[in-house]
Amino acid sequence: MCEELMVRHGSPTLAGMKTGSLFTCPFAGEQAMQDCVRCWNHTLAAKGLRVLPLRWQGQRALIYLYRPARLAKDLQCPEARALLAPRGYCCDDPTRCVGRLMQRLREAEEFPHEIGLFLSYPPEDVRGFIQSPVCGFKCVGCWKVYGDAAAARRTFGQYRRCTERFCARFAQGTTLDRLAVG
């Protein structure tokens, strides 16, 4: 079931279309979650992917599937750096940034708004959401769009089609390591 959740929520990341994806997954216990994450990392590392449990609550883990090399590139964007630096992120070290995100998730009752930068959301949309989460957006899909709505709609369509293809292939028996693009 967990692999099915990863495919359903992480296909664009598995396909190399985006930096990262988040999904919540139930586990029998924390040790079962750690064993599963270790297995996923063993399977997906060769494809340039990494899996981390960002938060553990009530037999469920918030899982971050991401491409570290792509995250490093995303974090070099001046607008992303400007959004992250005041929140205590060291953008020169992606691993420390993910660690800071984990800390922010533990400290806050709601998701830290900058999390979109870890999921390939355009920095202008993340900034727009931080400044005005309830109004001013142009459309809503995978995220609220404050910038280029046409480009975002195209991206939403690409993600949807990718997810449909990957889910169909997974249902036909294609394994996770075969779905992931290196």
What are the residue boundaries of the structural domains of the chain, listed by start? Answer: 2-175
The reported pLDDT for the residue numbered 135 is 87
What was the pLDDT predicted at 159? 98
The pLDDT value recorded for residue 52 is: 97
Answer yes or no: are the C-beta atoms of 151 and 125 closer than 8 Å. no
Joined tokens for residue 45: 């590392």
Helix (H) or strand (E) holding 31: helix 30-44
Quick one: average pLDDT of 94-115?
92
pLDDT at 147 over 80: yes
pLDDT digits (tens, 9 = 90+) for 149-168: 999 999 999 999 999 999 99
Q: What is the average per-residue pLDDT within 103-124?
A: 92
For the cut 90, the answer to whether the pLDDT of residue 121 exceeds it is yes
How crowded is residue 41: how many other Cβ atoms within 10 Å of its Cβ? 13
Structure tokens at 27: 């586990």
Q: 7 and 167 in contact (C-beta within 8 Å)?
A: yes
For the entire predicted model, the pTM comes to: 0.94
Q: What is the mean pLDDT of the chain?
A: 95
CA atoms of 138 and 140, how far apart (whole Å): 7
Cα 80–chain centre separation? 15
Beta-sheet pairing, 50-57 with 60-66: antiparallel
Q: Which pLDDT score is estimated for 139?
A: 95
Helix (H, G, I), strand (E, B) or coil at 136: coil
What are the CA-CA distances from residue 74 to residues 19, 27, 42, 77, 119 (Å)? 8, 31, 24, 6, 10
**Per-residue pLDDT averaged across 53-73, rounded?**
95
- Is the pLDDT at 1 greater than 80? The verdict is no
pLDDT (0 to 100) of residue 169: 98
Query: Residues 12-32: pLDDT tens digits?
Result: 999 999 999 999 999 999 999
As beta bridge partners, residue 23 has 63
